[in-house]
Structure formats: C-alpha cells, structure tokens
Structure 1
Amino acid sequence: MPHPRWTASDIPPQAGRLAIVTGATSGIGYEAALALARAGARVVLAARDAAKAERAMAAIRRVHAAADLVARPLDTASLAAVRAFARRWQEEGGVIDILLLNAGIAAVPQREETTDGFERQLATNYLGHFALTGLLLPWLRAAPAARIVPVASLAHRQARLHFDDLQSRRSYGSQDAYRQSKLAMLMFGLELDRRLSAAGLTAQAIPVHPGIARTDIFRRGDRAGAVQQLAGRAIFGLIGQSAAQGALPLLYGATARMAQGGAYYGPDGLWEARGSPAPARIAPQALDRAAAERLWRVSEELTGVAYGF
C-alpha cells in the first residue's frame, strides 16, 4: 500500500533518468514536469504549443534553476505529428525511463473531426497516445525499468466503448465522448502491462487518475461552450483539489518503488476526488479482457501502429 501521506517529497532521486510528459504546459502535466525536474530527471515537455512550452520551462526554472528541460512539438490529435515526434526521437533521443501520457481535452461541445478522421477527444486523449507509445517502445524497452503512465479519469466509470460508432459519427455527446476516451486509456494501460509482462519485458504500464483537479481542461478557446465552462469550473472549484495535488497519482505511478504494473492509482479521499495516492477502483467494464483485446486490434488498425513485442 502507498504511504498514507505520499507527496512529491517522497519521489526517489531521478538523476540520470529521462521523462517525457505530454501536455506539460499547464495543469497536472506542468506540475508533474516540475516535480520530476526537481527530483533530478531530464524532462521533455511534449506540447502542441511551442510558446506555451517555452513559458512552462521558464516557470519551472524560476522555481528550480538547475532544471534539465527540453521542449519538443507534439499534437496527440495528429498521427503525422506523433510520427514526426518519434522520427525526431530516433535521430536525437535516447533511452526513455518515464512516459507520462497526460495530454487531454474535454467538453468539446460539438463533434469535431481531426485530419485523420477521428473524433477529436478520442484522438487527443487516447489514439495519439496509443500510437506514441508504440512508436517509442524501442527506447522504453532499452531502459532498465521503464514506467508508462496513462492518465485515465473517474469518468471511466460512466463510460462504455461504442465499437459500432467509436468515432461518434451517428451520435455525439461531449461528456460521452470524453468518458469513452478515458475508459480507453485505462483499458489500454491495463492491457499494455499484460502484454509487456507476457513478453518478459521489465517496462511496466501503470494507469492513474488525478481525481478532481482544478485545471483548465474545460477551457477550449473559441470552441468552448459557455455552459460547459461555467459548470466545469464551478464543480471543480467547489470540490476539486489543486493541480499539484492532482499530479501526485501521476508521480506515484511514474516513480514510487511501491507502485505495481497493471495497478490503478488515484486519490484516497471521498469518491477518489481528492487526497493522497492510493489504489483506485476500476469499473467492471474496464476489466473486460475481450473488449481490451478488441480495442487494441482496432487501435492498431486506426493508427497504423503495431507494437513490436
């Protein structure tokens, strides 16, 4: 069991380790990048917006002047951008010790489709991360004990996978699409760990969720619906915890010696909304092995990325 009050100060020394954090420019991704840098890791901020990445690195260095940081462009909603990131990593990168799959969006009021023909929330939150992990697998395998940390959500409990309409073309609801994407992330993490273990690899997949954290995930620029913004901010403001506290399950999964592959971690408080890292409840639909295998096959077909176990 985790320490009852596990905090960022409990992160083991990370000197000599490399971490990639997607969506690291704000919210829990930023807080995770900051904590990993403080612990001595070299942190790659993989972000869609280059200017935001530069501002995030400057903010981290104001807190920790010796932070070892680098920014790399990545838009998980675009398979071309994911492949470009992987190609550049092949040319310039090295062994990856931590891959923190955090980038995400929510509350997109009207259905949007990416250039790949995917529903935007599913693409950003899940399919791009599935492809990224598969493309970076050689550098994860090269690490002595890599951690892959998919960020899921409490919302997975109200979700199901719509295999007959995965891209929400026939019927779209902003919350339904978000919940499906986060259920997919959790099932991916559990299935990935099973496959890593079956292949005899030392890398582990450890899915997590941040509880209810006060971040800007509901701010979607000019696409955002006013009702979604106001409702999201009100609920998260009333019962949510800080982004730094919400990042703790991510950091626990990425670094804690007690964290176990194939487990699921989140806050330990009421409804798992806030608190310290602890084992989290997994809804029955996320434990459906047949559905997880089907999701894996569909994801490989959609992304064109086959894992080389």
Structure 2
Amino acid sequence: MSVIEVKHVTKDYGQGRGIFDVSFEIKKGEVFGFLGPNGAGKTTTIRHLMGFIQPDEGELYINGKDTWKSTALIKHDVGYLPGELAFPDYMTGDQFIEFMAEERHISDMSRTEELKKLFELDTSEEIKEMSLGDKRKLAVVTAFMHNPNVLILDEPTSGLDPVMQERFIEFILNEKADGKTILLSSHIFSEVDATCDRIAIIKDGMVVSMIEADQLKRNTHKAFKIEFSSFEDYEKFLGKTAFAIPVKRPNQNQVKMNLTDEKMQQLFTELSEVNVNFISEIKFTLEDYFMDFYDRKKSVSDGEENLQYGIY
C-alpha cells in the first residue's frame, strides 16, 4: 500500500527551474530518501506534497487524499519539518508549542516533554534569542509532537551539531520501527545511508535514479588502492597490465582501480609478477553512486599530494 504518491508532477518556473515529470511512491512503513544538492528540486516537490503549491501537471496524494484539494486534512495526518524555518519572533518556545498543541487539539503533552528532553531543548526563552540549532530542535519537537504516522522532513538536521544529528538519526530509526512512513529529503549522505530503505536522486528537477539501499550494499564493483614496492615495480605493472589505467602524474607508485568480482583473479595474477607493499579495498558508498550523476572534478588532498608515486 502506497501512503505517498507523486504522479508525473511538473512545475515549470522557466529557464530550467522547477520540477519536471517527477514520479515516486512511498509504501507504508518505508523511509524514502530524496537526495540532491540545494536547488535540485527537493523542496519544490515537498511543497507540492504539503499543498503549498499547485502543480502545472500531475497529481500528488497522501493517504489517498489529493494534496492540493485536501490540504487542511492532510496537515493533521502529517508531521512536516521544513528546510527553511520561520517562527513568530514575539513568542517563546513554550508559547509556540502551546499554540501548535491547540492547533492540533493535543491535550496530553507527555510526548512533547519526551521530545524536549531527548533533544535537550530549553523552550523558555524567546524564539528570536534562540540559536539556529535550538530553532531546528523546536521545529523537530513541533513536527513530531502529535505522533503522526506520516513524516515529511526537509533537510531535518541542518543546523544541528554532530551529537544531535546522531540522536536524530537514532530517533528516525525508532520511528521507522514503529511503522511510520517517512520522506527524508537531504544532501547529507550519512543520514540517508543510515535510515533509508529506498533512495531517489534528483537532478535539475528530474528524478534520475531510484535504488534500494540494500542494492548499494550488495554492489559487485569494488575499488582498490595498490601501492607498489618501488617505481620500477609500478612501471612494470603498467607496461604489462590489461587494465586501462590513466597515468596522470609521473614518478608515482600507487593506483586506484574499480573492478568487478570476475576481474579480481586477473588482477592478482598480474600483481604476482611484481612486488607490492599493500592492497586495500575502498568501500563503495552512496556518495560514489550519487556522484555518477553529477559532474565532479576529483581534487587531491594535501595528504595525497605528499604520497610519493600515486595515481588518482
């Protein structure tokens, strides 16, 4: 059963800005990652889901309700955490929480108190005096205080310190275990990798890939870093290898290679003819997969520059 449905949605702002024929669905109890850099179309899609924007084309549904026609009803079903925070500055944190509780007809504040304790939030001060991190915590508390079954989270850990980011990830995993349906929009690979069942990558307003997280973990391509004992061994390997290895800098003795399992035996056969200091596997990550869809110039860190004889 799909709780969230996005069907061929287009919103064209002109000059290549907007979203174009975006489609995906999220099943009950699933955490769905929406991954892309700022400006890719994540927030525009989410604003359509929340009924803030009417699409030029396409339809969106949450729990079977049209998000444009049933905006008020949907807001009671959903916990929404916006990427850009906007609070009434004249209120304290306590006053804002009280206001949101009245809006949602919440009388039992025990969950709210648990969330404040979990995220170490002092709600007594005026919102305008709060740090960005505390404002983000306040947004988290108010998004989850009514214990919704559907959560739409736009860059949820932006502004949180590393400790609170980890705590938030643990919290999301607990919500997932409770059967919540979650859309997590982010450009932070670690939080998407740690929480999501499926991941959509959006680029220039279009979904360019959809993949299951487990599929990435079962990837058969492996990357290796090899350091030869000498420049002579390195040259000998390059002279005989059947693998295509681009030589970018002279006087190096390291290579990085991407291989499938079936090519491993061939590599080790070739390496048996030279002297090698070490071979180390480089874990394939969500970031590696993501960057296949975005142009990237690989930069060499100071540490790599200081390695004698390297190919990257």
Q: Same fold by TM-score, threshold 0.5 exceeded?
A: no
More strand by share: 2
Larger Rg: 2
More helix by share: 1
How does the TM-score come out when normalised to structure 1? Answer: 0.32
